[in-house]
Structure 1
């Protein structure tokens, strides 16, 4: 029987592994700093577990890359974080950031698993998925215990099964709008929550950025996140539903360099690019036209922000190039 681990990596498998490697090097940098600064002894074990998991992931991928004679990405190293820098975030931010990391890990591993064919690559992404689920369980349980978990809105249980009978179900601009459905509520809540956490992250990053161009870019990201939080929250409150509420700023007042500008730029642009995918899913799941148009209008604005970030990284020589096809014209 053919040994499927000898089959060359496909472009999709290269992409998934390369992206995961870059992300895990950021996880190591950030959680090394978090572990140094955390004071809450209930949060500390989760940070340590996440850090150890990321290091294990990197070791697995390095072995796989070496077997394939694939150049190991540089990613981010101890040169991109100052663990001795003053404290930038409160402990509650560490927990919220870990919770968001779990969501991103599960989303990325699910996408990678749909296109992977080699058993060793499949097994690796299943590991990522299972670790993401475990991290979500750990953070959710502790956030519930500490009273900082922001639950999605509740709606009444339907009293019967019903079917859509009129085109009125799709309207949203003129006349009476129907109440938003459970899927639409979920996406509004999720996108408001993601932008709330993102706003705190980019606020801290902007406060400690050393390059003025990077600082202004991050401040622009802060304003975008604030605008989107208000947009999604307003859409929920207009339906008499609660919006995710911030428990107050978790960003402290240090301006000392904690993470390199290179790391902060990559992390923010990758996070915002992932947001485009969430808006696309929300668009597909929101049949009410006014909601669909809202998401549709955000995608070009966010894509432009990501492109501007890529241009800054290219300008400073910070953008590591992912695997690409041959240039046949050359």
Structure 2
């Protein structure tokens, strides 16, 4: 029988593995710090499990890269974290961050599965998906138990099936405006929650950044996150629906260096890039014009923030290049 693992990796498979490697090496650094600082005995086992999973993922990918003579990315190492630094975040933040990372893992692995063809790569993405689901289950269960899980808003169950009969269903600026539907509520809730957590992350990173341009970048990110929290929350509160809010500050008062500026910049860039994807999905699901146009206006603004972050990483020599196509024109000229 033909060994299908001898088939060369496609560009999509390279992209998925490279991105996953970068993400898992970040996870090893962050979770190592969380494990060193966590005090809650119920959260500790989840961090241990997540750290072990990330290390196993890195090992699997390293073996695969070596087999393919694929240069192993540098990613992030113990040089990018100081586990002995003072505590920067609360235990509650550790749990919320792990929950959010589970969502990102499920999203990334699902995307990887749609384009992977080699059996070993497919199996790896399935592993990531299953681990992401398990992490989400673990964090959700504990957050519910501890009373810190913020549920989506509740609305009445419909008493009958209806069809849209008039064009006003799509309006949002002038004339009669309908109430937002369950799909629109879901995306407003998710995007509010993501920005609440994002604001906490960049606040902590701004406190501990060593380079001034990095610090100012995170301060700008904090302001943007608060702006988006207010924007999405306002849509919900105008409909008399609750919006996700922060349960007090999760950022403590240390200013000592915990993570390298390189790691923090890459981590924020990854999260913000994922946020653009969520806004795009929300745009497609929102039929009321005022909601759709609001998402459309945010996407370019966030994309510019990502670009500015990339320029900072390039300036400092922190941006590791993903695999690229052959530049035949350049080869011809040389």
**2:201 equivalent to 1:201:** yes
Counterparts of 1:166 and 1:235, CA distance in 2: 22
Q: CA offsets, 1:20-46, max 9 Å, x none?
A: 000000000000000000000000000
Name the structure 2 match of 1:186: 186
Counterparts of 1:17 and 1:106, CA distance in 2: 14
Counterparts of 1:245 and 1:324, CA distance in 2: 41
Counterparts of 2:241 and 2:207, CA distance in 1: 34
Name the structure 2 match of 1:150: 150
**2:83 equivalent to 1:76:** no
**2:299 equivalent to 1:302:** no
Name the structure 2 match of 1:318: 318
Q: What SS is found at the alignment partner of 2:329?
A: coil
Q: What SS is found at the alignment partner of 1:241?
A: coil
Name the structure 1 match of 2:269: 269
Q: Within 5 A, what are the aligned runs for 1:238-253? A: 238-253=238-253
Name the structure 2 match of 1:175: 175
TM-score in terms of structure 2 length: 0.98
Aligned residues: 330
Counterparts of 1:319 and 1:248, CA distance in 2: 34
Name the structure 2 match of 1:18: 18
Q: Within 5 A, what are the aligned runs for 1:209-288? A: 209-288=209-288
Q: Within 5 A, what are the aligned runs for 1:78-97? A: 78-97=78-97
Quote how far apart the aligned CAs of 1:105 are. 0.2
Name the structure 2 match of 1:34: 34
**2:49 equivalent to 1:49:** yes
Quote how far apart the aligned CAs of 1:4 are. 1.6
Counterparts of 2:2 and 2:173, CA distance in 1: 58
Counterparts of 1:292 and 1:4, CA distance in 2: 45
Q: Within 5 A, what are the aligned runs for 1:63-142? A: 63-142=63-142
Counterparts of 1:53 and 1:124, CA distance in 2: 12
Counterparts of 1:108 and 1:283, CA distance in 2: 20
Counterparts of 1:219 and 1:270, CA distance in 2: 17
Q: CA offsets, 1:162-190, max 9 Å, x none?
A: 11111111111111111100000000000
Counterparts of 2:130 and 2:286, CA distance in 1: 29
Q: What SS is found at the alignment partner of 1:175?
A: coil
Counterparts of 2:139 and 2:325, CA distance in 1: 40
Counterparts of 1:203 and 1:224, CA distance in 2: 12
Q: CA offsets, 1:43-83, max 9 Å, x none?
A: 00000000000000000000110110000000000000000
Counterparts of 1:201 and 1:258, CA distance in 2: 13
Counterparts of 1:40 and 1:175, CA distance in 2: 53
Counterparts of 2:55 and 2:280, CA distance in 1: 32
Quote how far apart the aligned CAs of 1:323 are. 0.3
Segments of 5+ residues of structure 1 without an aligned counterpart are: none
Counterparts of 2:260 and 2:294, CA distance in 1: 34
Q: CA offsets, 1:181-210, max 9 Å, x none?
A: 000000000000000000001100000000
Quote how far apart the aligned CAs of 1:245 are. 1.7
TM-score in terms of structure 1 length: 0.99
Counterparts of 1:145 and 1:66, CA distance in 2: 43
Q: What SS is found at the alignment partner of 1:255?
A: coil
Q: CA offsets, 1:201-248, max 9 Å, x none?
A: 110000000000100000000000010001100110001100002100
Quote how far apart the aligned CAs of 1:3 are. 2.2
4+ long deviations beyond 2 Å: none
Counterparts of 1:213 and 1:37, CA distance in 2: 28
